[in-house]
Structure 1
Amino acid sequence: MAKRLILFLLLFLISDIYFYQAVVTLFSGSSIPIFYWFVDVLIIVSIVSIIFLRQRISDIQRIASILITAMLLVFIPKLFSFPILFIEDIGRLFRGFPARSVYVSEIVVFIAVAIFLAIVFGLTRGRHLYRVRKEILYFSDLPEAFDGFTITQLSDIHSGSLSNIRGVQKGIDLANAQNSDLLLFTGDLVNNMASEMDPWIDTFTALKAPYGKYSVLGNHDYGDYIKWNNASSKEANLKRLKEIHREMGFNLLLNETVTLQKQGQRIALIGVENWGKGGFHQFGNLTQATEDIPIDSFKILMSHDPSHWDAVTVDHEKHVHLTLAGHTHGMQFGIEVFGFKWSPIQYFYKQWAGLYQRDGKFLYVNRGFGFHGLKGRVGVWPEITVLTLKRSDSATA
């Protein structure tokens, strides 16, 4: 983690210095270069202040979110400009380092402005630019009655960040329009407090699925990221959050399994509490949740953090056919075009968005319905997942 932070700071510094050269080339003699450094210093001082005053600022998460947004708007356009200026420097090296080309500097500033505007779009309209992502998964041992069974997965609602009623309703309507058999929610209903969900209970109660709605807890649902007056207040918050799941019609699974039946055949739906690497709580207990399940049953697991799949699920004694997770949000920033996907989150999580397969077992990581930290999404849009289960023999029928 420390090495990655140092790398980030070096990239920030180098990109800053290079982009400043383009600014000076185009705007020398004006006040723009002074404003340039003023913004940089303001952001750096603000971050340092947050670090040292974190014990005395009650609304630290809101302020940190603003700073993250500012860093994104300032840093990313400069980072994309850096390679162009660096290539120009290679040419200048063999020409005795003449003055920078005004033409190249104009290109650099144009690209930076375009990227800046794209980020602004993501921070405003991208919050509710929902995308339906569909996958068909084939299994040789899927019970015949469940051939063609559909699942809609939502994850990471983070209701404490939501404010646009029409935008959220668009996502609810889109989820219901998929007409899936089953609806599963894989954790992080709130940012910190159960009360964040109060204005949205009726909205999310409208989600429908004929075979039911099931859910699990995510790391934010335990209330670990704010200070409580006492332990009982924190416990009461979690109790209230569990009640809200029931009020919305969700069956909250806490290291347990339910059986779904169709035409006399069954599949096992497992839900574990949050289990994550890197300092996150490991309350999830897959062994406990599956102790009464026949070893040859078809199993679907809801587990909020995808790191649980690699660390526990793949090598577990009981074969879990399909695991559904969330948690990463795709970092709410990245590039996904024509099958290519990239996000800084991939340097922290091996499985961070979309479908993964190993040893005949599938993992799907949902990019999240809501947002947290960064007040929007850039390139990694909010997701509604639709998975269709098929018997492998039906692929050749």
Structure 2
Amino acid sequence: MPVSQRAKNTPASPIRKLTPSAKKAKEKGVRVYHLNIGQPDFPAPPEFLKQLKGFSQKEVTYAPSEGLSEMVDAWKTYYHSHAIPFEKEDIIVTTGGSEAILFALMAVADPGDELIIFEPLYTNYLTFAQETSVKLVPITTYLKNGFHIPNNPEIEKKITSKTKGIIICNPSNPTGTVYKRSELKRIAEIAEKHNLFVISDEVYREFVFKVRSISMMEFSFIREQLVIIDSISKRFNLCGARVGCLASKNKKIVEAALKFAQGRLASPTIEQLSAVPLLKNYRKYTKSVVEEYRKRKNAVISVLKTIPGVKFYLPEGAFYLIAELPIRDAEYFCRWLLEEFQDQGETVMFAPAQGFYQTPQLGIKEIRIAFVLESKKLKRSMEILKIALEEYKK
């Protein structure tokens, strides 16, 4: 009996598609350095674990669909500390940022509608677009320009009668680009001019190395057209806790998101309660984490820049970079790394970047590198890459 066409058309994640090859390598005794996925290796905040261990209620009941009042208030406090004027009625707690993305797509677009998105892009957008039958219209950004946003005509020529909005991720996963205020203002002005929604994924807000990350909420003239995606996953290294939020000044968007949330009943109760103290005092944790990511970024670059033929742009935020390798097919190379290559019993796993593009044949020579291991291991991983490229080209 065949499965649905939707199931057939949903793309496999480029982040996880080589996992079977990595598993086989480990079964052979090969140590695999995982730089393919944004799963940080930092310990969870002690405050979270303390709250988790201290949970003493006899019943674990459903939380309200919009989120526990304490959690919603914590998000409000967090936003106010960034001078982002969200109130409790503007916020819906979600089961991770991923669910917030899904709710946002469902709220702003009908099946067959179009959303403009900049590629390389976060791959889950492709999955959720497939699930909601929304068409993503890609606008390509390029390594040579640091993956920054192209000029207005390049964007506006993609707008049609079916276009309902623009999606941005700032700081960017997968490129590490932090968009300038002038770029974001242009997006806001285009959205205002063409009456479009803007879905702004800001989950890496604190993770910047030089410049401040600008929230789209700073452009007050489009607040009614704006949907913010947020999460505790990367900010506090709690990817498994699954707590995020959707925030908007548009009452109809919030009402729609609440109806979607009621359909899935509730986000996890215990994790919400445990995360409340973190959002109310986030700087205590994120400051040291960002500094560590800075060191890790520098560790990667210190070796990467010595590899002949490798091209990359210095990441400005998040904890990723896209690198172009001097090869024909990065996915084939990444599979070869896991299945046929090792150096002193070790190899490394990357995410082939072609899966971060929607336009065919783009990114075929590129990989995404995640700075999710300590600096020593990252340097070793880059050294393995250097040795592997020399061997691969023989």
Normalising by the smaller structure, the TM-score range is under 0.3
Bigger relative CO (Cα 8 Å, ≥ 6 apart) = 2
TM-score by length of 1: 0.28
TM-score by length of 2: 0.28
